[in-house]
Amino acid sequence: MISMGTVWDRTKAVIAGRLNILLSLAVLFLFVPTVVQAVVDVMVNRPGEQSGGSGILSLMVSILATVGTLAITAVATDPNVDRARAASLGTGRVLPALGIIILLSLAAVLIFLPGFALLLLSGFDMTRAQLGQAQGNLNLGMAAAGGLYFVVVSVLLFWATARFVPLLSVIVNERRGLGAIRRSFQLTRGSTLKLIGVLILFAIVCVVALFAATSVVGLISRLLAGPDQPGAVTLAIAVVTAALTAFFGVIQSVFAGQFYLAARDVKDLV
């Protein structure tokens, strides 16, 4: 049996013992690129507009975030990995990781398509829904079927998210390609409900912390910058969001890494 309490205790120990390396990687790969993107968006783009350059920058930020997450995972799962080695491992395994992430994302989109088809066939108008207007000539039965489909698929995807907790750890430590998906499912067998509970609690903490921090920072920055400086307010909120996201990203990656080690010890001995 894998004890989530033990995994969490090991997570805290790793964070306390390797905090400098973890924070430096988080700042370099998670925090700084996100802040740079926010600065560029505020300086270059007009409100509500997206440019091609912004899209390329977003892609680069996503790639760097993946490299950083892999590097943090390497540090969390091997006490002999230093900062340079972690960055090298993250860079070396980013292509397999991105390939699997893209594949899983496409699968998720395809799974949702029948629900969208049901809504379209029911006569559901997304534009009217966004404006808060009543739907006209709506097939209620088909719309209800589409809504139910979304609920069921969302639950299944949340279950799948729990099964993929050790996925990046497998990619980093076992150098697997698509086989990492099956390996992740093997490692989480018997622990899915526990992981779902952890994910729910973690999500609640993240949402509450982000909401509280951005609300306070937004209020203070508006008072200091004045109503004529919306860009400054947006940037301040983006910086705080990036900092908290990087912080929680470190915790999530270290926990996932420690779960991987615990599950590997249990499963490989059976």
Average pLDDT over residues 167-195: 93
Judge whether residue 270 has pLDDT over 50: no
Average pLDDT over residues 130-151: 81
Average pLDDT over residues 228-251: 90
Q: What's the predicted TM-score (pTM) here?
A: 0.89
Contact between residue 138 and residue 121 where contact means Cβ atoms under 8 Å apart: no
pLDDT tens per residue across span 202-233: 999 999 999 999 999 988 988 887 777 778 88
Give the pLDDT confidence score for residue 197 in this predicted structure.
93
Average pLDDT over residues 62-73: 96
Mean pLDDT of the chain: 89
Average pLDDT over residues 56-76: 94
Report the C-alpha gap between 266 and 270 in whole angstroms. 7
